[in-house]
Structure 1
Amino acid sequence: MGGLTEAKLRALAGERSFERGLAYVEAVSGVEAGDGWIRASVRGTERYEVELLLGGHRKPRGTCDCPYGQEGNFCKHLVALGLTVVGREADLSRQRTSAMGRARSLEAWLTGLSRDDLIALVREEIAEDRQLRRRLELRAASARGDLAEVRSRIRELLDIGPFAQYGYVEYADARAYAEQARQAVSAIRSLAASDRATDAMVLAREAMGLLAGVVERVDDSDGRLGEVGADLADAHHDACREARPDPEELAHWLVTQALDDASDLFDIDPLDYEDPLGDQGMGTLRKHATEAWKAHRSGWAEKHLMQRLAKAGRDIDTVIAVHAADLAPDGQTHLLIARELDTAGRTAEALEWAERGIRETEDLASVDTALVDHLADRYTRTDRLTDAVTLRRDHFAARHTLLTYRQLRAAAEAADRWPAERENALDLLRADGGRVLVDALLDDRDVDAAWHAAGEHGAHDGQWLTLADQSRPSRPADALTVYLRLACRLTRETGNHAYEQLVSLLLSIRDCHSRLGTPDDFTTYVTDLRASQKRKRNLMRLMDEHGL
């Protein structure tokens, strides 16, 4: 069901919870299956209620009211239910089919009841179920257009008080609160369906304000409150399409909403309101957005809104103006502008902005490397190879790294200028002390020069190992010296990782002795090593496996 497997359960729960869940499979009871969900009880220290949500594009999720599960973890009880699902796939499919059949039978029975019998049934149920009574009372108030009553009930539904301890709704209670909040959205939609779209629009905005005011005090780890916010935004949008509010007032509200700190909760896109706004409202929307941006040019929300509106209207100059008003010192914004202009086919202007980004960066060592790559690529594609080399040379001079060395080499080779550029670059690296110099020479496959640089300037163990590996065929004695030194260090360490490294070195040492014609020396070395390391059983086992 939903492609659930033991491997997925292990990944969701982690090794410890998965292994503990194996012992609880027999404690699973009362399994119920529906469309995309499975519920059951699991007997642990107490009896816990668990639910798995399966299917769709999202990975399986679950809830459990045990202490560990209430913290948002995929607990051992969920593992037990998941394993039950995996083992009873066919049975649960039949159970789900049976549940659907019962639902159809129930619907047929309800449809066959007379009006009086149906009313009597509802009265009986609301007398027993307080929550059902409240939901129906709210729907009734919405249907008759009792705005004051609906507003009062919506405030009650969005009040976190009944769910909060010390002013905060914990994870264990967040789901119940979110379900109650959904009732507020249903009430607003019912109001709109009863030809009260304007009132629905007003209440939707009020509900957004209430929800935004409490969201930071709710543990919404499962994202249910975010879903309520999205539903509330949809209800507002639908109400606006029906109510046709004043376009200028709507435009002002949309801009305010887009710039609000809680905008992510509702994810309202002003461009979705183009229909109820009309030309007049869209003009007002752009006006208010521009005013907000001019008042706070560096604000992320203001810039994002302006860019969205400008791109929608294919106003590339406004997009550039927004970026240009707040240029980053590392050239990142210059690159964004260059890319926008390239997309618009204005390549000459794009090149000017990219070059300006390099010029205006105070320190080329801190420049956005993507800007350097972009400009170098443009130079190469337009056959300005000398300019590409100059750019890469300057960047390498500011940042002495193996990457910038490789990039300079690629540009210089394309321009047929590498020998001269290489010597100048190596001189800069020699002046630094040599660590990057060794890497650069190894990357050039100039092993002899790399050996010399390592001996003169020093190298770290990884570089020495690479040198030894690359030169073992031609310089086995030098390589052997390196391997023996590194192996000596590892003999003082414990752990499988150290043992694996040591065995790898021993194989290389054996190869060196073979090339030097001194296999007996290797035998003596290994015998002494085994004697001194004999208590390391895993090391001895690895050596045996490799014939050492």
Structure 2
Amino acid sequence: MDTEGLTEASLQELAGARSFARGLGYRDAVSAVEIGDSWITATVHGTEPYLVELTLDDPGGLSGECDCPYGQEGNFCKHLVALGLTVLAQRESLPRQRKAARRRGQDLDAWLSALSRDELLALMREQIGEDRKLRSRLELRASSARGDVSGVRSRIRELLDIGPFARYGYVEYADARAYADQAGQAVSAIVALSRSGRAADAIDAAREAMRLLADAVDSVDDSDGGLGQVGDALADAHLEACRAARPDTEELARWLVAHALGAFDDGLIDIDPLDYEDILGGQGMSTLRELATKAWRSKRKGWAEKALMERLAKAGGDVDTVIAVYAADLAASGHTHLLIAGELDGAGRTEEALQWAVRGIRDTRDLATVDTALVDYLCDRYARAARLSDAVALRRDHFRARLTLLTYRQLRAAAQAADCWPTEREKALTLLRADAEGQRHGSRVLIDALLDDKDLDAAWQAATAVGADDRQWLLLADQARADRPADALDIYLRLAEPLTQQTGNTVYERLVNLLLSIRDCRRRLGTEDEFAAHVQALRAAHRRKRNLMRLMEEQGM
């Protein structure tokens, strides 16, 4: 009955600082606390009443669940924090209450064990008379156990009917969880049917449930993924039933292919045909591949058809078929060519891989839209093969198509490796100067490129000639401050002025950083008195901006 795991520190660690702080304000909203041997439940009143449960002796330590939206996503929410803090307030009595709960549980178990069969039946009948949900679950189990297939399937249809939960034909978020819980009962019935010796009937029931769930999913707000979990469980139930019943392999193969190609249009139940390989056997897998191939050949660009063929081909180590699938629908960006090259590299067919990469560049009509990963791949291959001039040529063409700082850097790296950067640089800068003069790109890559080259004088001249944005002027000032403090000071003063008319902590931080740079320039110029006057004027004009005043004081201004 260790309760050391429940501490303020553990609550804060699980919830995070934000949820923990918010939980502090919900302690008065906790009611109906019930303490068991290893669990504690309560109702916490937030936007609506939420059911909250803390588990004290979980193998992984303290844990909890809450049915609020945030808690349903698996988070340790503020409501759990509030319950934990409420329990900690009565920490001294907690061991005693847990001991009493355990004793009550033992007493109940002993009493039930002592009852006769007739007494237990009477008790059960009493409970199902008072609890309709319990009665419904037991009726379904009874139908499954006695092999009442018609009754089970009728009940499954009822459980998957959205009618009782839908408002105007749609199940809202607030009711989606209850619907998902009910749909989960249908899966349990299918599993029970399978395990009662009626696996073949369970297969049919599972497939009908899949169709019903597919019909329902678009009419349910499944934000929490409850129906997704039901779909996963339903797929598992179908697989289990197939393993038990061993259905006709050709029929199973046809059904699996139809499902993979979206015949049921559910988008919810993910079934991997390869999970059925042990059931299908050699003949069934052969049929599966034949059907998948036929479907793909009739619709080579179909997403589902391509995905199925690719999955089967990769599982079988059939690289040529994988390539054929990719090659049937080549992307204009060259991305598909890159995928093919990767597959061929994996198979040790490096020369073919290189050919496909080269073809990808050649087939791309506009290098501005090419998959940059393909360019990187091909340049890497050129470099490893000592084809440095080819790498430079490709980087040059890519730079001309895009004119970005990244492509400039990549061209520089390739040209430096090939020992031809001075020539390539002059050509590249000529293009960037023309681009800057035409002002086709607001970012003016020319300035960024010169700054990246550490060519400060050229960058300054270019900025003066064609203009620069504030970010670039700031970079120029920072780099020039030591040698050209007067020029840098003019820039800092110009950038600081509009900030004095704005508010907000981010603005204040930027302004103070500029003031620090201004102070440094004034010191270099020997005009500290002018900086002091500047600061005094700022303080007088903006004394009501308390956060700005605080930041300035922290920097000795």
Q: Please list, as runs of the form range in 1=range in 2, the aligned pairs for 1:13-52 lying within 5 A after superposition.
A: 19=22, 21-32=23-34, 39-43=41-45, 48-52=49-53
Would you say the 8 A contact 2:334–2:361 is kept in 1? yes
Q: Please list, as runs of the form range in 1=range in 2, the aligned pairs for 1:204-215 lying within 5 A after superposition.
A: 204-215=206-217
**Are 1:516 and 2:520 an aligned pair?**
no
Matches of 2:61 and 2:307, distance apart in 1: 29
With the length of structure 2 as denominator, give the TM-score of the two structures.
0.89
Shift of residue 524, structure 1, vs aligned partner: 3.0
Output one character per residue of 1:80-121: Cα deviation in whole Å (capped at 9) or x when no partner: 335446767897788678766755654554444433333233
Matches of 1:241 and 1:135, distance apart in 2: 26
Q: Counterpart of 1:443?
A: 452
Letter in 2 for 1:368: D
Would you say the 8 A contact 1:63–1:74 is kept in 2? no
Shift of residue 39, structure 1, vs aligned partner: 3.1
Shift of residue 9, structure 1, vs aligned partner: 3.5
Shift of residue 156, structure 1, vs aligned partner: 1.1
Would you say the 8 A contact 2:54–2:62 is kept in 1? no
Match of 2:15 among 6, 9, 18: 9
Shift of residue 538, structure 1, vs aligned partner: 2.7
Matches of 1:269 and 1:94, distance apart in 2: 52
Q: Please list, as runs of the form range in 1=range in 2, the aligned pairs for 1:230-241 lying within 5 A after superposition.
A: 230-241=232-243
Matches of 2:379 and 2:445, distance apart in 1: 23
Higher deviation after alignment, 1-10 or 274-283:
1-10
SS of the equivalent of 2:271 reads coil
Q: Please list, as runs of the form range in 1=range in 2, the aligned pairs for 1:415-494 lying within 5 A after superposition.
A: 415-433=418-436, 435-494=444-503
Q: Please list, as runs of the form range in 1=range in 2, the aligned pairs for 1:261-276 lying within 5 A after superposition.
A: 262=265, 264-276=267-279
SS of the equivalent of 1:416 reads coil
Q: Counterpart of 1:176?
A: 178
Matches of 2:94 and 2:249, distance apart in 1: 53
SS of the equivalent of 1:29 reads strand
**Are 1:376 and 2:379 an aligned pair?**
yes
Would you say the 8 A contact 1:71–1:172 is kept in 2? no
**Are 1:187 and 2:189 an aligned pair?**
yes
**Are 1:243 and 2:234 an aligned pair?**
no
Q: Please list, as runs of the form range in 1=range in 2, the aligned pairs for 1:288-327 lying within 5 A after superposition.
A: 288-327=291-330
Letter in 1 for 2:12: E
Shift of residue 72, structure 1, vs aligned partner: 12
Residues 84, 376 of structure 1: CA spacing in aligned structure 2 closer, same or farther, 3 A cutoff?
farther
Residues 90, 143 of structure 1: CA spacing in aligned structure 2 closer, same or farther, 3 A cutoff?
farther
Q: Counterpart of 1:353?
A: 356
Q: Counterpart of 1:131?
A: 133
Matches of 1:371 and 1:202, distance apart in 2: 48
Q: Counterpart of 1:63?
A: 67
Would you say the 8 A contact 2:65–2:80 is kept in 1? no
Output one character per residue of 1:426-482: Cα deviation in whole Å (capped at 9) or x when no partner: 111001116211100110111111111111111011111111111111111111111
Matches of 2:230 and 2:546, distance apart in 1: 59
Letter in 1 for 2:462: A
Matches of 2:219 and 2:468, distance apart in 1: 55
Output one character per residue of 1:309-349: Cα deviation in whole Å (capped at 9) or x when no partner: 00110001111111111111111111111111111111111
Q: Counterpart of 1:391?
A: 394
Matches of 1:70 and 1:305, distance apart in 2: 34
Match of 1:339 among 333, 339, 342: 342
Q: Counterpart of 1:537?
A: 546
Matches of 1:364 and 1:95, distance apart in 2: 73
Would you say the 8 A contact 2:64–2:80 is kept in 1? no
Output one character per residue of 1:273-318: Cα deviation in whole Å (capped at 9) or x when no partner: 0111111111111111112222222222221111110011000111
Would you say the 8 A contact 1:167–1:217 is kept in 2? yes
Matches of 1:45 and 1:517, distance apart in 2: 63
**Are 1:365 and 2:374 an aligned pair?**
no
Identity value in percent: 67
Residues 363, 515 of structure 1: CA spacing in aligned structure 2 closer, same or farther, 3 A cutoff?
same
Q: Counterpart of 1:165?
A: 167
Higher deviation after alignment, 256-265 or 107-116:
107-116
Q: Counterpart of 2:221?
A: 219
Letter in 2 for 1:527: Q
Matches of 2:267 and 2:104, distance apart in 1: 41
Higher deviation after alignment, 137-146 or 26-35:
26-35
Residues 100, 355 of structure 1: CA spacing in aligned structure 2 closer, same or farther, 3 A cutoff?
farther
Q: Counterpart of 1:402?
A: 405
Match of 1:121 among 123, 132, 144: 123
Would you say the 8 A contact 1:9–1:82 is kept in 2? no
Matches of 2:317 and 2:188, distance apart in 1: 38
Q: Counterpart of 1:140?
A: 142
Residues 98, 419 of structure 1: CA spacing in aligned structure 2 closer, same or farther, 3 A cutoff?
farther
Would you say the 8 A contact 1:52–1:82 is kept in 2? no
Shift of residue 185, structure 1, vs aligned partner: 1.4
Output one character per residue of 1:237-269: Cα deviation in whole Å (capped at 9) or x when no partner: 011011111101101111111122645422111
Output one character per residue of 1:347-374: Cα deviation in whole Å (capped at 9) or x when no partner: 1111111111111011001111111111
Residues 59, 346 of structure 1: CA spacing in aligned structure 2 closer, same or farther, 3 A cutoff?
farther
Name stretches of at least 5 consecutive residues in structure 2 with no aligned partner. 438-443
Residues 500, 103 of structure 1: CA spacing in aligned structure 2 closer, same or farther, 3 A cutoff?
same
Residues 401, 59 of structure 1: CA spacing in aligned structure 2 closer, same or farther, 3 A cutoff?
farther
Would you say the 8 A contact 2:31–2:42 is kept in 1? yes
Shift of residue 45, structure 1, vs aligned partner: 8.7
Shift of residue 7, structure 1, vs aligned partner: 6.0
Matches of 2:97 and 2:338, distance apart in 1: 58
Name stretches of at least 5 consecutive residues in structure 1 with no aligned partner. none
Would you say the 8 A contact 2:358–2:378 is kept in 1? yes
With the length of structure 1 as denominator, give the TM-score of the two structures.
0.90
Would you say the 8 A contact 2:52–2:79 is kept in 1? no
Would you say the 8 A contact 2:159–2:186 is kept in 1? yes
Matches of 1:241 and 1:92, distance apart in 2: 49
Shift of residue 501, structure 1, vs aligned partner: 1.4
Residues 64, 416 of structure 1: CA spacing in aligned structure 2 closer, same or farther, 3 A cutoff?
closer
Output one character per residue of 1:5-48: Cα deviation in whole Å (capped at 9) or x when no partner: 336535675x9xx54x43330331233467997531235698x2
Matches of 1:36 and 1:230, distance apart in 2: 30
SS of the equivalent of 1:539 reads helix
Higher deviation after alignment, 277-286 or 493-502:
493-502
Shift of residue 219, structure 1, vs aligned partner: 1.9
SS of the equivalent of 2:268 reads helix
Q: Counterpart of 1:505?
A: 514
Q: Counterpart of 1:330?
A: 333
Q: Counterpart of 2:203?
A: 201
Matches of 1:27 and 1:442, distance apart in 2: 59
Q: Counterpart of 2:151?
A: 149
RMSD, matched Cα: 3.1
Q: Please list, as runs of the form range in 1=range in 2, the aligned pairs for 1:49-128 lying within 5 A after superposition.
A: 49-52=50-53, 62-64=66-68, 77=79, 80-81=82-83, 83-84=85-86, 106-107=108-109, 109-128=111-130
Higher deviation after alignment, 269-278 or 48-57:
48-57
